Amino acid sequence: MTGIVLIIIGVFFIISGTAVIMKKSKNQVERIGNTTSTRIDIDSVESKVTYQNKEAIESGINKNDSHDYLNTTKQSNNIYSSKSDTKENSSEQPNDSKSKGDAFEKFIVQKFNQKFFILKEWSGDKYINGIYAENAMNPDMLFEFNYNNRSYNFAVECKWRKNFYYDEVEIATLRQIENYKSFSNKKRVPVFITLGIGGEPSSPNQLYVIPLRAISRNKLDKAYLKEYEKDPFGNFFFDVETNELLTKTLESKEQAKI
């Protein structure tokens, strides 16, 4: 009887042991499978990162993280696009303004008869990155007027505006006006602001010649300017008694060519 009991107990332990071994084997297989799957995923990610890093290196960018690289590339494209837009805007607007300013200066300079007026200086307003010549802060032109064996110097600043804004026009910044006054005091010469309004810079509808001494602010209204309105078709002459820059009154553009 005892022998039978021992045999039954032995069979029970054998069955239990076999079940435990089979369960352990199954867990090991699952762990191996999971490890293999994880390794495959890691290899896949490493492969992608390696490929993208290669592209980054070839593009001159060395990033170890593919996500950062893609974001950096996107940001770089946005930066270059922004710089390009800024460059286009900065090149178009200032150049357009300068071309209009140049056209008005040419309109003004041709109103001085070379028989009596000598153009001593003509500022070019060239600058880059805040570097500019000292005379760039001076009025545009310096003239010498010769009459009765005597010479008289005066300066001219040229401004053209498309129109009045609420019956006012800004002729310059306050700093520019101070620079012109400093130039006038230092050189001991009168300065005149020639202001063209409307039309085109090469042919304004209205022309004003304002002595700098009569300017106390940088914005002037239409009523105030009325006193200084000149014939846009007439040529200039300098009144040595009053130190005024005037124009000969003409009836038409055709007479201005004579």
Vertex 249: Cα angle to 244 and 254 (nearest 5): 130
Beta bridge partners of 207: 196, 230
What is the residue-level pLDDT of the chain in tens, covering all 258 positions? 566 655 665 655 566 655 555 555 555 545 544 444 444 343 444 444 333 443 333 334 343 444 443 343 334 344 333 333 333 333 345 578 889 999 999 999 999 999 999 999 998 766 556 555 666 789 999 999 999 999 999 999 999 999 999 999 999 999 999 999 999 999 999 999 999 999 999 999 999 999 999 999 999 999 999 999 999 999 999 999 999 999 976 544 444 444
- CA-closest candidate to residue 207, choices 194, 221, 192: 194
Domain ranges of the chain: 2-64, 94-256
Helical residues (DSSP H) of the chain, grouped into ranges? 2-58, 66-109, 174-187, 222-225, 253-256
Residue given tokens 């602010």 in the structure block: 217
Instruction: Report helix, strand or coil for 159.
Output: strand
What CATH architecture applies to the domain 94-256?
3-Layer(aba) Sandwich (3.40)
